[in-house]
Amino acid sequence: MRVLFFGVGYCARRLVARESWIEASGTARSAEGVAALRAEGVDAYAFDGAHVDPGLERALKKAEAIVVSIPPRDGTGAAVERLKAAINAAADLRRVLYYSTIGVYGDHGGGWVDETSATLTRTFRGLARLEDEARWTAAARARGVEPDILRLAGIYGPGRNALINLRQGQARRIVKPGQVFNRAHVDDIAELTRLVLTRGLEGQIWNVADDEPAPPQDVVAYAAALLGLPPPPEEPFDEARLSSMTAEFYADNKRVSIAKAKTVLGFVPAYPTYREGLRALAEAGEGRGA
């Protein structure tokens, strides 16, 4: 399948590496990024939200699927507007998939949410994601394709996890009573993406998360135990100094259901909780360096 990725980042790279049937093309923001992707076998083109490599339009016209994995700040609006004609001219285009975030659900007071739940976000980032969901939905439907929106939980995996954060002294155990978060291993994101791209179902919204929304301090403590390290001290939320982005995360409290993906797609997470995911990463040597 000829898949064009707007933004070949962490999740897209993992998908391409796992799935040999994907004939990948995609975008990077810089010439250096383009060169790196081409070295990995991706037919890459420069796109930074303003400049469009002419070859990108040719690649778009040949695409059978589009996967959008760039955040709103990186020019997804510009991509839709500047490349609308090329998208509409893609004769073989069958799927448009947008990587969004469970952050669009906002705060549900710790209750469970599924794909039918209200999107209550009031944050700048959450609202920008909802705008992008609508933007790509309109672009796909204009081409006669119903889009898939994958709403991702907090992403972790090789090179990006609590084990590494601990070893680098960056992990914190911030305690806010009743607060839980879901996570999603990058391999489970890749697997659910594969199912969506290949099953031939009409496009729709899919939650991508693990099966155990858990207090973040518990995850850090478990990672520390795997490494044989003392866990960082607990920090009461009300006393912790947080970045604006971290504060936004803690403002929302919800439990995310993936029952739909399991039932409709037959999705079986390889890492149903943070324990399986972190244990596998630790066994692979993550966080063991000096």
3-state secondary structure the chain: CEEEEECCCHHHHHHHHHCCCCEEEEEECCHHHHHHHHHCCCEEEEECCCCECHHHHHHHHHCCEEEECCCHHHCHHHHHHHCHHHHHCCCCCCEEEEEEEHHHHCCCCCCEECCCCCCCCCCHHHHHHHHHHHHHHHHHHHCCCCCEEEEECEEEECCECHHHHHHCCCCCEEECCCCCECEEEHHHHHHHHHHHHHCCCCCCEEEECCCCCECHHHHHHHHHHHHCCCCCCEEEHHHCCCCHHHHHHHHCCCEECCHHHHHHHCCCCCCCCHHHHHHHHHHCCCCCCC
pLDDT at 50: 74
Task: Give the domain CATH number at 110.
Answer: 3.40.50.720
Q: Are residues 229 and 203 in the same domain?
A: no
Residue closest to 180 by CA, chosen among 215, 152, 205: 215
Q: Are residues 147 and 49 in the same domain?
A: yes
pLDDT at 114: 98
Task: Give the domain CATH number at 230.
Answer: 3.90.25
Q: Are residues 69 and 85 in the same domain?
A: yes
How many CB atoms lie under 10 A from the CB of residue 179?
A: 19
Residue 235 is assigned to a structural domain of this protein: yes
pLDDT at 227: 97
Residue 262 is assigned to a structural domain of this protein: no
- pLDDT in tens for each of the 290 residues of the chain? 999 999 999 999 999 999 999 999 999 989 999 999 999 999 999 998 778 888 999 999 999 999 999 888 766 676 788 888 899 999 999 999 999 999 999 999 999 999 999 999 999 899 999 999 999 999 999 999 999 999 999 999 999 999 999 999 999 999 999 999 999 999 999 999 999 999 999 999 999 999 999 999 999 999 999 999 999 999 999 999 999 889 888 999 999 999 999 999 999 999 999 999 999 999 999 998 75
Count of domains forming the chain: 2
Residue 112 is assigned to a structural domain of this protein: yes
φ, ψ of residue 69 in degrees (nearest 5): -130, 25
Residue closest to 85 by CA, chosen among 38, 143, 27: 143
Q: By CB neighbour count within 10 A (0-12 exposed, 13-18 middle, 19+ buried), where does 46 fall?
A: middle
Name the amino acid, one letter, at 90: A
Q: Are residues 175 and 94 in the same domain?
A: no
Domain boundary among 170, 193, 208: 208
Q: Are residues 101 and 226 in the same domain?
A: no
Residue 263 is assigned to a structural domain of this protein: no
pLDDT at 74: 63
Q: Are residues 148 and 163 in the same domain?
A: no
Residue closest to 50 by CA, chosen among 30, 26, 21, 23: 30
Distances (CA, A) of 132 to 88, 193, 206, 289: 18, 19, 16, 39
Residue 24 is assigned to a structural domain of this protein: yes
Q: Are residues 81 and 149 in the same domain?
A: yes
Residue 290 is assigned to a structural domain of this protein: no
Q: Are residues 40 and 145 in the same domain?
A: yes
Q: Are residues 147 and 239 in the same domain?
A: no
* CA-CA-CA-CA dihedral for 185, 209, 110, 119, to nearest 10: 130
In the numeric block, which tokens belong to residue 59? Answer: 């690649």
Q: Are residues 7 and 149 in the same domain?
A: yes
Q: Are residues 140 and 227 in the same domain?
A: no
Q: Are residues 140 and 203 in the same domain?
A: yes
Name the amino acid, one letter, at 10: Y
Residue 265 is assigned to a structural domain of this protein: no
CA 216 – CA 172 distance, rounded (Å): 9
Residue 113 is assigned to a structural domain of this protein: yes
Range of the domain at 247: 158-182+214-255+271-283
